[in-house]
Amino acid sequence: MGKNHEFIDINSIGRIDYKDLRRSLLQENKLLPSEHPCCKGKGNCCERNIPVSEKDVQIISGAIQRGDIPRSVIAQAKERAATSKQNRCPFLNPRNECSIYPYRPIVCIEARAGGTAHPKQLEATVQQYAETGTDPGIPVCNTRTSHMCAECHQQMADAGMKFSSRGVRNHYALIAYLSNNPSIPMPEVVAKLPLPKRRK
């Protein structure tokens, strides 16, 4: 079986399973030589009401029930959701890092949003792409076509970066999934999440 079996078959778009899509997006992220350079610690991609599907909510809720997301993270997110006047995800912490990173929604995985800041420069990442790319890829164009923020998208376009063909297939699978399944903005999700009991 070819290498492509791990990725979304474009013909299956429309009946894509959430788990398959999430796994494929995470695999795509791992294949990249470095994570998206300009979102790291900037939080721009998290400064908007991202669409959160029911399955995304189940992932977050499950992590809360297991105690994998601390009570304090939920309490702080609820406070931000109630008081923030900005279009900013309540899970973005003051260091501009995602406080639920392993459990973030599929839109965030695709945009590679919410990671921890690191000192690598954009040029180094572009060089890595150039050295390891066997996939000719699709140039990031000036017209925004991804779920990342406009600034990140423009930086990638200006730097001559490319989306892999697989990444583009995943992107359209994600659009299809969100079109076929209801989603709600993250602040509404946070407002509805139960606050875990304090541990004794």
To ligand SF4, the closest distance from the beta carbon of 188 in angstroms equals 13
User: Does residue 77 belong to the site contacting ligand SF4 (CB under 6 A)?
Assistant: no
Tell me which residues in 128-167 interact with ligand SF4 (CB under 6 A).
none
User: Does residue 108 belong to the site contacting ligand SF4 (CB under 6 A)?
Assistant: yes
Q: What is the CA 35 to chain-centroid distance, rounded?
A: 11
Q: Supply the DSSP string of 139-179, one letter for each residue.
A: EPPSS--SSS-HHHHHHHHHTT-EE-HHHHHHHHHHHHHHH
Stretch that binds ligand SF4, among 88-96, 123-131, 166-174, 191-199 (CB under 6 A): 88-96
Selection from 63, 93, 55 nearest residue 194 by Cα:
63
User: Does residue 80 belong to the site contacting ligand SF4 (CB under 6 A)?
Assistant: no
Binds ligand SF4 by CB under 6 A, chosen from 8, 13, 38, 113:
113
User: Does residue 173 belong to the site contacting ligand SF4 (CB under 6 A)?
Assistant: no
Interface ranges with ligand SF4 (CB under 6 A): 46, 50, 89, 91-92, 98, 100, 104-105, 108, 113-114, 186
